[in-house]
Each structure stands twice: as structure tokens, then as C-alpha cells.
Amino acid sequence: MLSLQHISKYYQVGGNKNFVVNDISLDVDEGEFVSIMGPSGSGKSTLLNIIGMLDEPNDGYHYFVNQPVHQLKEKQRAALYKQYIGFVFQAYHLIDELTVYENIETPLIYQDVKGSERKAMVADMLDRFQIVGKKDLFPAQLSGGQQQLVGIARALIAKPKLLLADEPTGNLNSKQGEEIMELFRKLNKEDGVTIIQVTHSEKNAEYGSRIINLLDGRVESSRKF
């Protein structure tokens, strides 16, 4: 599904290049569930952002569904991104001014989905995550776990092929975290959504089918289950 070849990301500090991601090559197939681990500053989030096209590498080749991302123009990249990728954040990043319903609906608006169709899709999603009763509440009125649930629902509403999650359980207690992980597993198994998550927790990482360990911007180890 995606292929990174010799990807590097660095900051120029004085005369030196300060590498955040250093010559990483990585292939992810459709249907995989990858966990990226590593200590603070090892480049996990940057790598995830590069995969999600939120950040651009300085060097290397990046292919996504057989398209050379490193050659695409901003607009084409955005189109590709919109069609295939969903993002989940540690801090949920819901829009405070919008209700649960509207938060979930927003990506569809940007994809020019018609109003009636949007209604049906959001209703479906609310149903599936069992948050119909909460649809008119604002994020501030929800618990952390519920907010992350909305965050995931929002990421999934446009039916992405790839779900990127940056420490999705980082702000949650262990029980809430477990529920989210179960949800991820189910999405991966039953719906065939490819998932790449960044996590600090060994336990959560083991939900994945592959664990990649990063250290100082390089892949230190990679193991498949």
C-alpha cells in the first residue's frame, strides 16, 4: 500500500544537519496493523506525519497506492490524502465549537458529499460507535474516552484505507485505552482498514501485526507476528 525509500528529515542547525528521521525505508501492505515504538525524540511522530503527508521529508521517495507522493503537487497530494487517509490524535483535536455530530460530519463537507448522504453516513457512524445519544453534545461535555471515540469516528467517516494514530491512548486511562485498542483490532480485522499507530505502550503495540522500534531517527528493529 505504501513504500518509503531512504526517507530523511533533518533541521539545519548551524552547519550541521540534525536528523529527526534518518534514511528510513519501510513498506506497509494493505491490511497490516503496524505499531511504531521508540523513546521521546526518536522520530516516531515525524515519520507518521510524513506517511500522512502532513510533513514533507527532505530526502527520499514516498509511494502511496502506487503514486509517487514526493513528485505530486500540493493539490494532488491533498486529493490523495482526502480519499485514503484518516488521522487520530493523542489530544483528540475535536473542534470545540462543533457538536459531536458536526465534528464527525466535517470531513464529508470537505469532500463535497451531498447533505442527505452525509446525514446517512454520520447516522451510521453514530450508531456503530453507540454515541447516538451524544450527538448534540459539545466536546467539552464528553469524557476523554468518549472524545477519542468521536475522534476515531471522524477519522473513519470518509472510509479511509489507512488510519494513522498518534498515541491514540496517551491521554486515556488503561480501561479506556483498552477499549480503543479493541476497536482498532476490530477495524483492522473486520473492515480491513490498514492501521499505523505510534505508541509508548508495549501492551498496546502488541495489538499490531508488526512492531517497528525507532531510535535516533533510524529503524532499530522490526518484528512481525
Q: Which residues bind another protein (CB under 8 A)?
A: 49, 54-55, 75, 78, 81-82, 87, 89, 91, 93-98, 102, 105-107, 109-112, 154, 158
Q: Which value, to the nearest 10 degrees, does the dihedral of the CA atoms of residues 121, 135, 142, 86 take?
A: 10
- Output 28 or 94, the one with its CB closest to another protein: 94
How far is 148 from 150, CA to CA, in rounded Å?
5
Instruction: Report the nearest approach of another protein to the CB of residue 18 (Å).
Output: 17
DSSP 142: S
- Output 112 or 190, the one with its CB closest to another protein: 112
Instruction: Report the nearest approach of another protein to the CB of residue 208 (Å).
Output: 22
Instruction: Report the nearest approach of another protein to the CB of residue 214 (Å).
Output: 18
How far is 5 from 125, CA to CA, in rounded Å?
36
Instruction: Report the nearest approach of another protein to the CB of residue 209 (Å).
Output: 25
User: How many other CB atoms are there within 10 angstroms of residue 127's CB atom?
Assistant: 10
- Output 42 or 49, the one with its CB closest to another protein: 49
- Output 139 or 145, the one with its CB closest to another protein: 139
- Strands, DSSP E only, in the chain? 2-13, 16-28, 33-37, 59-64, 67-68, 85-89, 162-166, 194-198, 210-215, 218-224
